[in-house]
């Protein structure tokens, strides 16, 4: 069964396809975002808010979230343990 996780503002994604969740503060992450935009591999789920987390998927797509990485980690952990 597909495990969906809330990434904020009514947006959900398949938790099993996530490779990494990182903060967008570092220059290499900002370059990764720019490259993904150029290659049309980016999904903006911030609803116009400041990007606080960058989610990397198995398919090499980049998902931008307005939630903190720690918040997303907590949601992934709850989801992994079968809690909602």
Average pLDDT over residues 68-75: 95
Instruction: Output the average pLDDT for the chain.
Output: 94
Q: Which of 84, 74, 68, 83 is nearest to 8 (CA)?
A: 68
Q: pLDDT band for position 35 (50/70/90)?
A: very high
- Cβ count near 18 (within 10 Å): 17
Percent pLDDT > 90 in the chain is 86
* Sign of the torsion angle spanned by Cα atoms 84, 59, 28, 51: negative
Report pLDDT for 78: 85
Tell me: pLDDT of 51 over 70: yes
For residues 40 and 74, give the distance between their C-alpha atoms in angstroms, rounded to a whole number. 29
Pairing of strands 62-65, 42-44: parallel
């Amino acid at each position: 069964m597909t495990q969906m996780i809330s990434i904020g503002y009514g947006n959900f994604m398949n938790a099993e396809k996530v490779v990494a969740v990182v903060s967008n503060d570092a220059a290499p992450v900002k370059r990764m975002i720019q490259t993904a935009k150029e290659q049309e591999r980016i999904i903006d789920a911030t609803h116009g808010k400041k990007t606080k987390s960058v989610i990397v998927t198995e398919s090499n797509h980049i998902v931008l979230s307005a939630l903190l990485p720690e918040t997303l980690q907590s949601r992934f952990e709850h989801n992994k343990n079968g809690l909602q």
